[in-house]
């Protein structure tokens, strides 16, 4: 359905008004809304998938799986919200003998949230993605800035959410969808305008470092700064130790090549760097990897812009001094197709050249060959913050190189022991975020139910009559949630002495 023509200020005002309504909703009511959105998305048929395929060049099996993941996100987040987990209700009952008052605290939404659609996940990280689901679960209205790379897909998803808003009779500003690049008649970018808008209280973003950092800077220059939860990607290095290379060099090469080229390398967890100490085992790995990469055919990338940046950055790193060619797909690429390539350099060159640590979004890998483990440790120390770091090794490797492990713990949001980092599960324990510049706030995740934490703040009530308290804090515990009462977890009713 077409929304009426509204200005950007109008969208922000509608969201602010909707926030006043959402503050009165309970976690159970918001969860019910989220389940309804999940049902609505699940019912969307072939038109959604085919539209997304045409706009992104992603294959239908991948899109079908991503749609299912999106539905699961809404339902799993809804269950988490309904459980009261993110309300974090705390009750400290009064004690008149000690002169102690009645203090109760829970989390509330922080206000209207601006969400940016991501290019590489048209469902799960875009209009109806995890940022939107977690913000609404927190009690925050959402304004989505749809991604130009899949605007028709974005509109279909937006219409589904808007239908549920109407079905529930909630205010129109509960969810809004904005398309376009610039504010009409100006050179001001829509995203920048809304990030600076005084009625917007937080931003969720998945994309490039430059895009996320620009929004972060705008938000911090406001009269009232706001949080920007930007997931900006990383090179996701793999550190391979001697015993695992000796035992599994060829198998590890297959695993690395598959992860590096999965989805034409268009994942923020793409393992763009592989680090090891030189030797016969590493040479076996390089030969096996060259054979694997040579046989992987190029494939269409998401859009012309991403393809152009891939070609530019791939060639920039390939043409750096002391960088050697290892392998490339033997199949020539057509315009718009990402052609896998592997290059190599020494640890000494990597440590002296900051360009080599930059992300290449696409099927490009850089092998870093250290002279010894002291130099490999230097590489680990120089790394910037990462979404993931993978340790490829045996238990003995880990015991022998605990110093390296301790260093990379400080650099990653998710630390893997063997396996490859592509593939992010929607579970409570997932951490999708990491030290800057992987994300702007490493305390939070953008995947899994804990993503809701980004969009809440604590509010305490002191000496309030029970009838005026929110349901989450009432004596009778009408939502039957677990609360911390006088320091003890409890789902029971409470009463004053």
Question: So which residues are the catalytic ones?
Answer: 231, 268
Task: Report the alpha-carbon distance of residue 177 to residue 153 in Å, rounded.
Answer: 12
Q: Tell me the pairing of strands 103-109 and 90-92.
A: antiparallel
Task: Report the alpha-carbon distance of residue 146 to residue 143 in Å, rounded.
Answer: 9
Positive/negative CA dihedral, 186, 189, 195, 199: positive
Q: How far is CA 289 from the centre of its chain?
A: 29
């Amino acid at each position: 359905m077409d929304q009426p023509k509204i200005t950007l200020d109008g969208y922000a005002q509608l969201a602010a008004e909707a926030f006043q309504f959402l503050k009165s909703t309970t976690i159970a009511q918001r969860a019910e809304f989220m389940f309804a959105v999940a049902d609505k998305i699940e019912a969307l048929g072939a038109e959604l998938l085919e539209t997304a395929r045409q706009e992104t060049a992603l294959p239908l099996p991948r899109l079908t799986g991503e749609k299912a993941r999106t539905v699961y996100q809404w339902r799993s987040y809804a269950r988490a919200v309904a459980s009261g987990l993110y309300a974090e209700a705390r009750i400290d009952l009064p004690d008149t003998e000690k002169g102690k008052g009645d203090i109760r605290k829970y989390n509330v939404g922080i206000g209207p949230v601006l969400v940016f659609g991501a290019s590489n996940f048209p469902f799960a990280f875009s209009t109806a993605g995890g940022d939107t689901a977690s913000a609404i679960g927190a009690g925050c209205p959402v304004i989505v800035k749809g991604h130009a790379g899949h605007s028709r897909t974005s509109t279909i998803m937006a219409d589904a959410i808007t239908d549920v808003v109407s079905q529930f009779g909630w205010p129109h500003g509960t969810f809004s969808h904005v398309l376009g690049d610039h504010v009409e008649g100006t050179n001001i970018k829509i995203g920048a305008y809304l990030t600076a808008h005084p009625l917007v209280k937080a931003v969720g973003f998945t994309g490039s470092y430059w895009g996320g950092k620009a929004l972060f800077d705008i938000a911090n220059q406001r009269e009232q700064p706001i949080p920007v939860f930007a997931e900006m990607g990383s090179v996701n290095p793999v550190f391979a130790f001697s015993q695992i290379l000796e035992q599994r060099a060829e198998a590890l090469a297959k695993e690395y090549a598959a992860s590096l080229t999965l989805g034409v390398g268009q994942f923020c967890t793409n393992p763009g760097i592989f680090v090891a100490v030189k030797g016969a085992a590493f040479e076996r790995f390089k030969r096996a990897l060259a054979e694997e990469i040579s046989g992987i055919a190029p494939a269409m990338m998401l859009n012309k812009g991403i393809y152009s940046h891939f070609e530019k950055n791939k060639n920039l790193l390939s043409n750096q001094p002391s960088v050697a060619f290892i392998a490339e797909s033997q199949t020539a690429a057509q315009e718009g197709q990402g052609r896998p390539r592997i290059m190599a350099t020494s640890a000494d060159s990597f440590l002296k050249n900051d360009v080599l640590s930059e992300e290449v979004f696409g099927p490009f890998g850089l092998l870093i060959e250290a002279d010894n483990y002291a130099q490999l440790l230097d590489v680990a120390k120089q790394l910037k913050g990462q979404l993931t770091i993978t340790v490829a090794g045996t238990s003995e490797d880990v015991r022998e190189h605990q110093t390296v492990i301790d260093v990379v713990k400080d650099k990653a949001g998710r630390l893997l022991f063997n396996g490859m980092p592509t593939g992010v599960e929607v579970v409570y324990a997932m951490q999708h975020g990491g030290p800057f510049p992987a994300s702007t706030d490493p305390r939070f995740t953008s995947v899994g139910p804990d993503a809701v934490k980004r969009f809440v703040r604590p509010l305490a009530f002191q000496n309030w009559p029970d009838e005026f308290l929110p349901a989450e804090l009432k004596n009778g515990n009408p939502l039957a949630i677990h609360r911390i009462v006088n320091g003890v977890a409890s789902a029971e009713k409470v009463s004053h002495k």
